């Protein structure tokens, strides 16, 4: 340990520790707009500058190692004044439209400007009026709001290995752009939304479906059904200061918003496991493409279509839980309830921006109608709940609608990296060993690591399984496979680090602890669930008995499975 | 990919990202600019995302992303030329050609580039057309100057 002094207080820190991390651990808050924990520091925004005794210049704490005897002043008049001036300069050409901005009240630039006491415009920069990029079905780029912090560029490159965007031009003309400055829809962007989640302003935000959903809710002719993904109910409470899972209050809130049926996507997560387990057994016994890779994460699908088209046969043909439930609602439920095809509106709340793109994929639907009409992100739903004057903290709980309100704990943990694998292992264990998995826990799949692997014994066969989150880690694994690795049979892949609980449609911000809390909440729901496995779900059994026949059957294939195609675009 | 680009890339087997700028320079020397196809081919060769190469190509002034015209017009905006009114000269030429700097006129005849200083301050303000220097240029001379460039070419032939 080495000794240093922060604002007059002697403290100890690990040698070569990052100064910003040390400050944070000491409870000293230094603002930053570009820092991303665990990633290469760039010192781009300069907001974290501090005074170091004996050094003439202010130093960016995010890019500085502590050293023995270092004496740091974080809030000296000089440091604070420098920060304030930086923010004033950032605001010099920033649109003054906070009241109309999607990030009003959740904008880092706004918060920091307020904190630093910026109350008037001292600098007037020339405003450029750059066009919005509305080309993607998932998200919108608003270049006028960009402050060039580079978080999106780094997340896209370092975490996701996609690099759809980069800095273009130089000096005052520098901007974040796609290759050849074309729309996102023709770039290699996979719509994961990690850039949206880390953007400190509104330069990147989702393509909102809130207005269309409100219009549908106001139309008495329409029956509007909604499904919410497992990650949503363990996240949405954060906006209302409620801890843990909020599913019962969320159900009430959705009813009060006017939704006619409230369903749980964890139901179709159970359905997905039934289909996927069958598909895996089929592949193993008939010599199909192995390892089989999960297909629940639409950004991952687009990633394979774009970068690894020769691996498309390895993707499970199962649709994602959102699309499975969408298909079952429109093809089976609506006719059974006597709802005309034109009168049902199917909405999904997802922690994801890519789900908006998935819902619009032309292969998802039938007779010219999409299975899912609108997708709201967790953020959009929070806004709608607030707009309706509701507070999850005070709402009574309610039960979801049947039959698609019944779910197992295994379906619920789909929201975390490893959840799909664990659910599949529980069901496989029961089928093959004829007894439940001890404790219904598959420990190897749990935790926040980006890669988790295990060898499991299934009957006489040993099977290699891997759980991967983030597309960067997925790329590393695919490269291993391309290099000849052949010990894996089943791979779960989620596009966002940590899984859907850290999805691109989740509340913006960089709180890694929040991800752990959301995961803990999911596993707590599972632990207390009366049903722990997909195959035991009585409503799943009923669906097969009444409509689908057996997993992997003809009707399943028509409704619940799909196919993929290579994408010939700029990589 | 054109043969020229192919030839350049063959000169850089097993190259890594640090070879990017020399490769782009070589491609531009052969083709006069960096075409979309060339940028993509370089990306595939170096296993670099297209966005990165586009970022580098737009960062440095030396790279062009549009094909040069048959006549390349360089307007000096160095200090001496600035003092002697090169801003007006530049806008005069822009008006005459109906293009912005770094663009090529629709008929492919002229491309326009702004340069920092071409080392002929005594002649300020200076315009260079296809390497030939014209000194003491006035904004209203722009059209006549461009016409002369075409005549010079006719004369050459």
Rounded CA separation A189/A168 (Å): 16
Identify whether the C-beta of residue A297 lies closer than 8 Å to the C-beta of residue A320.
yes
Q: What ipTM was assigned to the predicted interfaces of this complex?
A: 0.88
Q: What is the pTM of this model?
A: 0.91
Is the domain of A84 the same as that of A217? no
Selecting among A192, A296, A318, A352, the annotated active-site residue is: A296
Instruction: Please indicate whether, in this complex, the C-beta atoms of B39 and A187 are within 8 angstroms of each other.
Output: no
CA-based diameter of chain B, in Å? Answer: 53
Instruction: Note the pLDDT tens digit of each residue in A96-112.
Output: 899 999 999 999 999 99
> How sure is the predictor about A26, in pLDDT bands with cuts at 50, 70 and 90?
very high
Active site (annotated) includes residue A554 = no
Kindly state whether A306 is in contact with chain B, defined as any CB-CB distance less than 8 angstroms.
no
Chains A & B: contacts with CB separation below 8 Å: 48
Q: Which of A33, A57, A89 lies at the terminal end of a domain, its last residue? A: A89
Rounded CA separation A385/A112 (Å): 26
Exposure letters A400-425 (e unless 16+ CB within 10 A, then b): bbebbbbbbbbbbbbbbbbbbbbbbb
Establish if A566 belongs to a structural domain.
no
Instruction: Note the pLDDT tens digit of each residue in B50-98.
Output: 999 999 999 998 898 988 898 989 999 999 999 999 999 999 999 989 9
Is the domain of A220 the same as that of A84? no
The residue-averaged pLDDT of A549-562 equals 92
Kindly state whether B62 is in contact with chain A, defined as any CB-CB distance less than 8 angstroms.
no
| Interface subset of A 336-395, CB within 8 angstroms of B | none
Kindly state whether A449 is in contact with chain B, defined as any CB-CB distance less than 8 angstroms.
no
In this prediction, residue B155 carries a pLDDT of 46
In this prediction, residue B153 carries a pLDDT of 64
Establish if A221 belongs to a structural domain.
yes
Kindly state whether A180 is in contact with chain B, defined as any CB-CB distance less than 8 angstroms.
yes
| Interface subset of B 74-103, CB within 8 angstroms of A | none
Kindly state whether A160 is in contact with chain B, defined as any CB-CB distance less than 8 angstroms.
no
Instruction: Please indicate whether, in this complex, the C-beta atoms of B55 and A168 are within 8 angstroms of each other.
Output: yes
Instruction: Please indicate whether, in this complex, the C-beta atoms of B39 and A179 are within 8 angstroms of each other.
Output: yes
Active site (annotated) includes residue A355 = yes
Instruction: Note the pLDDT tens digit of each residue in A448-498.
Output: 999 999 998 877 778 899 999 999 999 999 999 999 999 999 999 999 999
Establish if A203 belongs to a structural domain.
no
Q: Which of A64, A89, A114 lies at the terminal end of a domain, its last residue? A: A89
> How sure is the predictor about A279, in pLDDT bands with cuts at 50, 70 and 90?
very high
Which pairs with CB-CB distance under 8 Å and at least 24 residues apart come from A210-217? A210/A376, A210/A380, A210/A383, A210/A384, A212/A373, A212/A374, A213/A347, A213/A374, A213/A376, A213/A384, A214/A384, A216/A345, A216/A347, A216/A373, A216/A374, A217/A257, A217/A258, A217/A259
Q: Which of A26, A60, A89 lies at the terminal end of a domain, its last residue? A: A89
Q: Which helix (H) or strand (E) holds A397?
A: none
Instruction: Note the pLDDT tens digit of each residue in A110-151.
Output: 999 999 999 999 999 888 889 999 999 999 999 999 999 999
> How sure is the predictor about B148, in pLDDT bands with cuts at 50, 70 and 90?
confident
- Residue of chain A minimizing CA distance to B55: A168
Matching residue, tokens 């202010």: A58
Rounded CA separation A158/A533 (Å): 36
Establish if A82 belongs to a structural domain.
yes
Establish if A199 belongs to a structural domain.
no
Per DSSP, the residues of B53-106 read HHHHHHHSTT--SS---SEEEEEE-SHHHHHTTHHHHHHHHHHHHT--TT-B-T
Establish if A105 belongs to a structural domain.
no
In this prediction, residue B2 carries a pLDDT of 82
Bridge partners (DSSP) of residue B76 are B115
Which tokens belong to A563? Answer: 């196919």
On the question of pLDDT at A222 being above 50, the answer is yes
Rounded CA separation A184/A130 (Å): 15
CATH (domain of A81): 3.10.20.740
In this prediction, residue A440 carries a pLDDT of 87
- Which region, left, alpha or beta, applies to residue A418 given φ > 0 means left and ψ of -120 to 50 means alpha? left
Average pLDDT value over all residues in chain B:
89
On the question of pLDDT at B157 being above 80, the answer is no
Identify whether the C-beta of residue A145 lies closer than 8 Å to the C-beta of residue A95.
yes
Rounded CA separation A307/A476 (Å): 12
CB < 8 Å to B59, chain A: 167-170
Instruction: Note the pLDDT tens digit of each residue in A302-342.
Output: 999 999 999 999 999 999 999 999 999 999 999 999 999 89
How many domains is chain A built from? 2
Establish if A524 belongs to a structural domain.
yes
Rounded CA separation A291/A488 (Å): 6
> How sure is the predictor about B21, in pLDDT bands with cuts at 50, 70 and 90?
very high
| Ramachandran angles phi, psi of B54, nearest 5° | -60, -40
Rounded CA separation A304/A294 (Å): 12
Kindly state whether B49 is in contact with chain A, defined as any CB-CB distance less than 8 angstroms.
yes
On the question of pLDDT at A158 being above 80, the answer is yes
CATH (domain of A276): 3.40.50.1780
Domain that holds residue A396: 211-560
On the question of pLDDT at A355 being above 60, the answer is yes
Rounded CA separation B94/B101 (Å): 8
| Ramachandran angles phi, psi of A42, nearest 5° | -115, -20
Identify whether the C-beta of residue A325 lies closer than 8 Å to the C-beta of residue A347.
no
Which percentage of chain A shows pLDDT scores above 90?
86
On the question of pLDDT at A254 being above 70, the answer is yes
Establish if A73 belongs to a structural domain.
yes
Mutate one of B41, B51, B52, B60 to test the A interface: name it (highest A CB count within 10 A). Answer: B51
Matching residue, tokens 């908006």: A356
Matching residue, tokens 């992997």: A552
Instruction: Note the pLDDT tens digit of each residue in A418-461.
Output: 999 999 989 988 888 788 888 888 889 999 999 999 998 877 77
Helix axes B36-46, B50-59, angle to 10 degrees: 120
User: Who contacts B155 (Cβ-Cβ below 8 Å, separation ≥6)?
Assistant: none
Is the domain of A523 the same as that of A383? yes
């Amino acid at each position: 340990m080495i000794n240093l002094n922060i604002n007059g207080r002697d403290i100890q820190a690990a040698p070569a520790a990052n100064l910003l991390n040390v400050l944070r651990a000491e409870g000293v808050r230094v603002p930053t707009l570009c820092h991303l924990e665990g990633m290469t520091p760039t010192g781009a925004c300069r907001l974290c500058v501090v005074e170091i005794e004996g050094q003439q210049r202010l130093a960016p704490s995010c890019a500085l190692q502590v050293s023995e005897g270092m004496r740091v002043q974080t809030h000296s008049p000089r440091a604070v004044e420098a920060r304030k001036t930086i923010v004033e300069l950032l605001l010099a050409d920033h649109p003054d439209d906070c009241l109309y901005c999607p990030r009003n009240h959740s904008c880092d630039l706004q918060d920091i400007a307020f904190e630093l006491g910026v109350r008037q415009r001292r600098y007037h920069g020339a405003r450029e009026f750059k066009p919005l990029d509305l080309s993607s079905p998932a998200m919108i780029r608003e270049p006028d709001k960009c402050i060039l912090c580079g978080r999106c560029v780094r997340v896209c490159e370092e975490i996701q290995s996609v690099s759809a965007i980069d800095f273009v031009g130089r000096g005052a003309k520098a901007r974040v752009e796609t290759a050849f400055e074309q729309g996102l829809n023709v770039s290699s962007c996979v719509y994961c939304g990690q850039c949206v989640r880390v953007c400190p302003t509104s330069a990147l935000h989702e393509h909102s479906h809130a207005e269309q959903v409100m219009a549908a809710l106001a139309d008495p002719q329409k029956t509007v059904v909604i499904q919410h993904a497992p990650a949503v109910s363990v996240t949405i409470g954060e906006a209302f200061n409620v801890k843990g899972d909020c599913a019962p209050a969320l159900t009430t809130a959705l009813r009060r918003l006017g939704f006619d049926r409230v369903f749980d996507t964890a139901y179709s997560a159970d359905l997905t496991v039934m289909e996927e387990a069958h598909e895996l057994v089929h592949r193993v016994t008939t010599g199909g493409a192995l390892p089989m890779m999960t297909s629940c994460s639409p950004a991952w699908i687009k990633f394979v279509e774009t970068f690894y088209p020769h691996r498309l046969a390895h993707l499970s043909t199962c649709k994602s839980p959102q699309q499975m439930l969408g298909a079952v609602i429109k093809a089976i439920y609506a006719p059974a309830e006597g709802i005309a095809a034109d009168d049902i509106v199917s909405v999904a709340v997802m922690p994801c921006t890519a789900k908006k793109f998935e819902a619009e994929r032309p292969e998802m639907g039938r007779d010219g109608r999409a299975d899912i009409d609108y997708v709201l992100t967790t953020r959009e739903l929070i806004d709608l709940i607030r707009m309706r004057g509701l507070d999850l903290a005070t709402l009574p709980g309610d039960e979801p609608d049947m039959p698609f309100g019944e779910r197992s704990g295994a379906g619920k943990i789909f929201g975390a990296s490893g959840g799909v694998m664990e659910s599949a292992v529980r069901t496989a264990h029961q089928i093959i060993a004829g007894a439940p998995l001890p404790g219904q826990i598959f420990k190897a799949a749990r935790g926040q690591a980006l890669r988790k692997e295990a060898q499991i014994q299934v009957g006489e066969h040993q099977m290699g399984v891997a759980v991967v989150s983030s597309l960067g880690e997925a790329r590393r694994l695919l490269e291993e496979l391309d290099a000849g690795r052949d010990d894996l049979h089943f791979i779960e892949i989620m596009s966002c680090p940590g899984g859907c609980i850290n999805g691109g449609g989740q509340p913006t911000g960089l709180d890694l602890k929040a991800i752990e809390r959301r995961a803990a909440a999911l596993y707590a729901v599972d632990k207390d669930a009366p049903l722990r496995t997909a195959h035991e779900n009585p409503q799943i059994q009923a669906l097969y008995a009444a409509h689908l026949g057996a997993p992997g059957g003809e009707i399943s294939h028509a409704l619940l499975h799909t196919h993929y195609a290579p994408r010939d675009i700029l990589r | 990919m054109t043969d020229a680009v192919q030839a350049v890339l063959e000169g850089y087997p097993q190259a890594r990202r640090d070879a990017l700028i020399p490769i782009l320079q070589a491609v531009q020397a052969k083709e006069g600019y960096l075409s979309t196809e060339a940028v993509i081919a370089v990306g595939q060769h170096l296993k670099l995302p297209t966005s990165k190469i586009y970022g580098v190509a737009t960062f440095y002034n030396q790279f062009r992303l549009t094909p040069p015209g048959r006549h390349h017009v360089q307007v000096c905006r160095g200090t001496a030329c600035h003092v002697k009114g090169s801003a007006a000269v530049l806008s005069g030429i822009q008006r005459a050609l109906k293009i912005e700097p770094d663009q090529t006129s629709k008929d492919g005849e002229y491309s326009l580039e702004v340069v920092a200083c071409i080392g002929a301050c005594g002649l300020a303000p200076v315009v260079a057309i296809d390497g030939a220097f014209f000194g003491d240029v006035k904004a209203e001379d722009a059209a006549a100057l461009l016409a002369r460039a075409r005549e010079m070419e006719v004369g050459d032939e």
